[in-house]
Amino acid sequence: MQTPTSSNIDHDCGKFITLPQEEILIAKREYWLLMLFPIAFSLLFSLVLLAVGTIIFLLGLHSFPLFLASILVILNATIGIVGRIFIHWYFHIYIVTTRKLLEVTYSPLDTLMENEVLLDQVRCTEVDMKRGGIFHELFNFGTIRITFDRPTHQQEFVLSNIHKHRQVGILLSRILVGFEAVGFTNPIQYYAANQLSRRMGAT
């Protein structure tokens, strides 16, 4: 079994208490770049609001107190929203140990979700990796979807937007399926019919 590498464990994911002989293999968050999009959108939107506030209160109503108040409120709101986006990203962690898969989502005043799959109670049937779009391609991240054969309603465990998801997926398939089943390591070779018969004849 592959040993955990530093790229598979984010060191700021927290301190974990594990059972005896339990080893943490993967501890990851979603790729940080994804957090920048809503933050950039919030900043842009607040800039637009600031411009609108300036036009209405300073140029339209000629009221400096209202202009100042609007700036303070918009800055307050923007800081609050950006802080919330960061906290939501920071407290969404995927952890894989030799005994279980765990997804922790924590959003203060809102959500605490712990999704846990005990690996000795289930049989993994599929480890699918998906990378969709040019942005995923450029920054090398994607989604890993693990399907279990288990008597529960939730049949899939999804690790969304993981950086270097192929490495993580290959490691997961080694852990869960028990062999190097991912196509990237064992390529399928295709031959034209005439080449195939030639090869078959040679062997």
Q: How far is the CB of 27 from other proteins (least distance, A)?
A: 12
Segment interacting with other proteins, rule: CB under 8 A, options 26-34, 41-49, 82-90, 145-153 = 82-90
Tell which one of 3, 6, 12, 203 touches other proteins (CB under 8 A): 12
Residue 47 found at the interface with other proteins (CB under 8 A)? no
Binding mask 13-32 for other proteins (x = CB under 8 A): -xxxx---------------
Contact 143, 124 (CB under 8 A): no
Residue 183 found at the interface with other proteins (CB under 8 A)? no
**Which C-beta is closer to other proteins: that of 6 or that of 186?**
6
Residue 59 found at the interface with other proteins (CB under 8 A)? no
**Which C-beta is closer to other proteins: that of 74 or that of 122?**
74
Residue 120 found at the interface with other proteins (CB under 8 A)? no
Query: What's the rounded Cα separation, in Å, for the pair 203 and 98?
Result: 42
Task: Kindly give the pairing relationship between strand 100-107 and strand 123-130.
Answer: unpaired
| Long-range contacts, 15-23 (Cβ 8 Å, 24+) | 16/95, 18/97, 19/99, 21/98, 22/97, 22/98, 22/99, 23/97, 23/98
What is the distance in angstroms between the CA of the first residue and the CA of the last residue of the chain?
34
Query: What's the rounded Cα separation, in Å, for the pair 17 and 34?
Result: 29
- Number of other CB atoms surrounding residue 125 within 10 Å: 13
**H or E, element range at 35:** helix 33-53
Q: How far is the CB of 21 from other proteins (least distance, A)?
A: 21
Q: How far is the CB of 117 from other proteins (least distance, A)?
A: 19
Segment interacting with other proteins, rule: CB under 8 A, options 2-10, 65-73, 117-125, 190-198 = 65-73
Contact 122, 155 (CB under 8 A): no
Q: What are the residues binding other proteins (CB under 8 A)? A: 12, 14-17, 61, 63, 65-66, 68-70, 72-73, 75-77, 79-80, 83-84, 86-87, 90-91, 93, 104, 106, 108-109, 112
